[in-house]
Structure 1
Amino acid sequence: MATRLTAPRPRGGRWPRVLAGLATLLLVAAVVLMAGAGPAYRGELITLGEAFNLLRNGVYAAGAAVAVSIIALLFSMFARRFAPALVGTLVIVGAAALLYVPWQHWQRAQDVPAIHDITTDMQNPPTFEALVEAREAAPNAVDYPGDATARQQQSAYPMVKPLVVNAAPQMVLAAAQSEAEEAGWRIAQITDSRIEATATTRWFGFEDDIVIRLTEIDSGVQVDMRSASRLGASDVGTNAARIEEFLSALAARLE
């Protein structure tokens, strides 16, 4: 009578494979939660608070994926199982990449003041005219916040300064308009010396309002800017970076 042979049971049993699979599922859940938070809010499917909760839960899921992956790695090393160890390693790398952006955002939030209205002229900030109604409907104020914000800006963003160019005002205005359009800003008003526009962030769709003001001076034209968020106490440096990038690009275009 023939004896039926059975394959030897792999070392460690099914646990390395189960743990690696669980870590993968947790990572997928983290990706869905974190990637979907912004578009869901932008599409008005959820509130901002719910979107932040999705982000927070996504971070928790990514952390759990790392923890389970470490356990899977330990089991796999003990059992000498290559495939689950590889999966666990890839999950850890993927979770680290996923968490890098919110970690970087959080780190920057610790380094900058909680302000959201930035201007190159803190003594006489450019004012909103065409966008007054839109800003009045938003949580943040229409008017520049004042001296306290100015002092914080000066300390955190000393490089935010006016641009002075030796060119005709019409040329500067046309170049500024072209730069604003290339940046994808929604232009609300253009006059002989001003541009008002709104920039929308890609992920969450937050709206920041911008004023570009041209003033003729002895050495040419002085370009001042103001960029202010409609929502949130802190812009995490977004408005300052926008002003610096825009004025640098405008200077290069005019050269």
Structure 2
Amino acid sequence: MSLWTALTRNRAHTRADHPDPRLQGRAYAVPFATVWTAALETATSQTRWTVTESDPRAGEIVAESRTLLWRFTDDVRIRVSLDADGNTRVDVESASRKGSADLGTNARRIARFLHALDRHLFGHQRTTR
């Protein structure tokens, strides 16, 4: 992440073609129900996160995350869906409620969540990033 981005953005999100490899989301060759359960359990276990909504039919998990230093509340949205290849896709958005710069906090939060989800699903083959 560039210094300019860290000083001018207060949100981060995944997408398949994101230039930052940490923010490319995930596609798993694992059934939706397995990934959904793992994503919900991973979100619930994240330090300083509170899951406020989860809807398996819509494939959305909504959470609030508090920053360590100033205890700001940020919003996290996790989407679990099937992609065109039949893989289960996980995308994440994290946005600060206050300020115009997050100093990379949202991107790091997403990367930590995806890494923890990968660990949770260890033993299941991840097909793409």
TM-score normalized with structure 2 length = 0.80
Does 1:243 pair with 2:107? no
State the SS of the aligned residue for 2:22. coil
Matched letter for residue 64 of structure 2: T
Rounded to whole Å, the distance in 1 between the matches of 2:98 and 2:116 is: 26
The gaps in structure 2 that reach 5 residues or longer are 123-129
Unaligned regions of 5+ residues in structure 1, if any?
A: 1-107, 124-153
* Aligned residue number for residue 170 of structure 1: 33
Alignment length (residue pairs): 117
Q: How does 1:9-24 map to 2 (within 5 A)?
A: none
Cα offset for 1:109?
5.8
The alpha carbon displacement at 1:229 in A equals 0.3
Q: Percent identity?
A: 30
Counterpart for residue 55 of structure 1: none
Verify the 8 A CA contact 2:6 2:102 in the aligned structure 1.
no
Shift in Å, 1:219: 4.2
Task: Spell out, residue by residue over 1:112-134, the C-alpha distance to the aligned partner (whole angstroms, 9 max, x if none).
Answer: 341011111399xxxxxxxxxxx
Kindly report which structure 2 residues correspond to 1:1-255, keeping only aligned pairs within 5 A, or say none. 112-121=6-15, 157-184=20-47, 185-192=49-56, 193-217=59-83, 218-255=85-122
Could you report, residue by residue, the CA deviation over 1:30-76 in whole angstroms, capped at 9, with x for unpaired residues? Answer: xxxxxxxxxxxxxxxxxxxxxxxxxxxxxxxxxxxxxxxxxxxxxxx
Counterpart-to-counterpart distance in 2, 1:216 and 1:122:
13
Give 1:188 deviation, angstroms.
1.2
Decide whether the 8 Å contact of 1:118 with 1:239 is kept in 2: yes
Answer whether contact 2:65 2:76 (CA < 8 A) is retained: yes
CA distance in 2, matches of 1:111, 1:169: 33
Q: What CA distance in whole angstroms lies between the structure 2 residues aligned with 1:180 and 1:110?
A: 29
CA–CA distance in structure 2, aligned partners of residues 207 and 159 of structure 1: 22
Q: Alpha carbons of 1:115 and 1:213: their partners in 2 closer, same or farther (altered >3 Å)?
A: same
Equivalent pair of 1:228/1:239 in contact (CA under 8 Å): yes
Give SS of 1:112's match: helix
Indicate conservation of the 8 Å contact 1:165/1:219, yes or no: no
Shift of 1:225: 0.4
Deviation at 1:111, TM superposition (A): 7.4
Task: Give the structure with higher Rg (CA).
Answer: 1
Structure 2 contact 16–25 (Cα < 8 Å) conserved: no
Q: Normalised by the size of structure 1, how large is the TM-score?
A: 0.42
Aligned-residue RMSD, C-alpha: 2.3
Paired residues of 2:16 and 2:24 also in contact (CA < 8 A): no
Task: Judge conservation of contact 1:114–1:233 (CA < 8 Å) in 2.
Answer: yes
